[in-house]
Amino acid sequence: MTEIIDGNAVAESIRADLASEIDRLADAGVRPTLATVLMTDDPASETYVSMKQGDCEEVGIETVDVDIDPEAPAEELYDTIDDLNADDDVDGILVQMPVPEHVDKREVLRRIDPAKDADGFHPENVGRLVAGNPRFIPCTPHGIVKLLDSVGVDPEGKDAVVVGRSDIVGKPMANLLVQKAAGGNATVTVCHSRTADLAAKTRQADILVAAAGVPEMIDGEMLSEGVTVIDVGINRVDADTEKGYELVGDVDFESAKAKASAITPVPGGVGPMTRAMLLWNTVKAAADDASVAVDLP
């Protein structure tokens, strides 16, 4: 029987644990606050940001919600970041990606105070992760480590194959899987659009993480029996539904499920975990700032 990994349930349990740590912080007079900055009209981005705000409300994290006209000069975003950095009430900052073309994305990531970097994308935090001394771990790969743990899959000694080398998922995922710490000690192969004979690599996988952003590119033919499949893809494809689209992953679910011992669905797999670990980073930022000890899940 293939286990369907329930990201909603794991995320719910992490939120419950975080909520009790947030109560503990409240006793110490600390109220974690996350600022979200949205500089786009993209409906998917708007949906994600409003879901993140709903999660915050559920666990007792305050939110500051900044909307910037996508046509505004880049300086407006840079100034907003400076203001949020200087605001003692703000613990975590998230600038929703992608930002418009005329904004320098690298400048955005550099500009966020690394101590408030709820995404873990600042070069200092990336460096710390690679050096084996992480502070904020990027939310999607961090959530995937928790999902593997939830089904008792320990990466140690296993062959892990990551498809996709993005800065926000593929690269930090590979780093976590190879690190000398819990959730790591795997043998990691990172594949991408220039990989020759992708299927030969993916068939080696005990753990397959699909994060290329290409709908259903990984199918059962490319997998070996017993693999654990983690599907990071959240692709909106046109469909005859009420919303006019449906969500599909980077994995062809049915054929992959036939080979897998465990697999994440889309939706309801990795997505909810990305949001849960954003809360985790925000609580950590607030606790570190106030020098209050917390026991994070």
Ligand X SMILES: Nc1nc(=O)c2c([nH]1)NC[C@@H]1CN(c3ccc(C(=O)N[C@@H](CCC(=O)O)C(=O)O)cc3)C=[N+]21
- Of 63, 66, 133, which is closest to residue 96 (Cα–Cα)? 66
Q: Binding residue for ligand X (CB under 6 A) from 111, 142, 146, 275?
A: 275
| Smallest gap from residue 44 Cβ to ligand X (A) | 7
Active site residue 82: no
Q: Could you tell me the two tokens for 116?
A: 């408030």
- Spot the catalytic one: 6, 87, 96, 104: 96
Q: Is 261 annotated as a binding residue?
A: no
- Residues 175-214: x/- map of binding to ligand X (CB under 6 A)? ----------------------------------------
**Do the beta carbons of residue 267 and residue 11 sit within 8 Å?**
no
Q: Could you tell me the two tokens for 23?
A: 């109560």
Active site residue 204: no
Confirm or reject binding of residue 80 to ligand X (CB under 6 A). Answer: no
- Residues 103-132: x/- map of binding to ligand X (CB under 6 A)? ----------------x-------------
Instruction: 217-223: list long-range contacts, CB under 8 Å, 24+ apart.
Output: 217/163, 217/250, 217/251, 218/163, 218/250, 218/251, 218/252, 218/256, 219/251, 219/252, 219/255, 219/256, 220/252, 220/254, 220/255, 220/256, 220/257, 220/258, 220/259, 221/255, 222/198, 223/256, 223/259, 223/260
Q: Is 213 annotated as a binding residue?
A: no
Active site residue 96: yes
For binding to ligand X (CB under 6 A), which residues are involved?
A: 47-48, 51, 94-97, 119, 139, 234, 247, 266-268, 271-272, 274-275
Binding residues for NADP(+): 164-166, 234
What residues form the annotated binding site?
164-166, 234
